[in-house]
Amino acid sequence: TLAFVAGLAAHETLRQIAPEFAIQLKWPNDILTANGAKLCGILLERIGDAVIAGFGINLAHHPDTLDRPVSDLRSLGANPPEAQAVTEMLADNFARWLHLWRNTPLDNVLRAWDAAAHRHGSALSVHQPDGGKLDGLYVGLEPDGALRLRLADGQIRAIHAADVFLI
């Protein structure tokens, strides 16, 4: 569930930098523009007892060779601050969300994440680690943070690990 902390910290940072732009979290921790272009990606990796969080926030440039829409703050019309200032803002936001995650019920973090995420009923394509693919509608989060996906037959499937795409 640390991925939700990282996502919320990055989302809050981007809202502070460019409050005029509509952005949304995508499960579990990517940030997209209103039209679905990726603005930020986050990777978490465990090494021993530590977790390393890597944040890729597109401030002034973005790759143009990816197989999905991608954008950056400058292309959207913002005047982003220098990377060092963004890093400091992100660190402060991460520390605040980490404190909440450690000291309150997980539901507080998950509710905040859900409020900043794509809307309930959003169509998603889920590419599972085993190569399987599921399409369905986002219907919220499980108490442990798993994505709840409503399939075409009405069944709700809990997704714990996958690449998720808005469709």
Taking the CA atoms of the chain, what radius of gyration do you get in angstroms?
Answer: 16
Q: What CA–CA distance (Å, rounded) separates 2 from 15?
A: 20
| Over residues 119-136, mean pLDDT | 96
Q: What CA–CA distance (Å, rounded) separates 4 from 67?
A: 25
Tokens representing residue 97 in the block = 């969300």
pLDDT for 64 equals 87
66 pLDDT more than 90:
no
65 pLDDT more than 90:
no
| Over residues 107-128, mean pLDDT | 96
pLDDT for 119 equals 94
Q: Where are the alpha helices (DSSP H) in 40-145?
A: 73-76, 83-103, 106-116
| Over residues 68-79, mean pLDDT | 93
pLDDT for 148 equals 98
67 pLDDT more than 90:
no
SS3 call for 33:
strand
Residue 149 near residue 136 (C-beta atoms within 8 A): yes
| Over residues 115-127, mean pLDDT | 96
Beta bridge partners of 46: 51
pLDDT for 25 equals 97
* Tens digit of each residue's pLDDT (9 = 90 or more) over 138-167: 999 999 999 999 999 999 999 999 999 999
Plot region of 121 (φ>0 → left; ψ -120 to 50 → alpha; else → beta) = left
Neighbouring C-beta atoms of residue 18, cutoff 10 Å: 18
Q: What is the mean pLDDT of the chain?
A: 96
68 pLDDT more than 90:
no
pLDDT for 114 equals 97
Q: What CA–CA distance (Å, rounded) separates 111 from 79?
A: 30
107 pLDDT more than 90:
yes
Task: Work out the pLDDT band at 29, boundaries 50, 70, 90.
Answer: confident
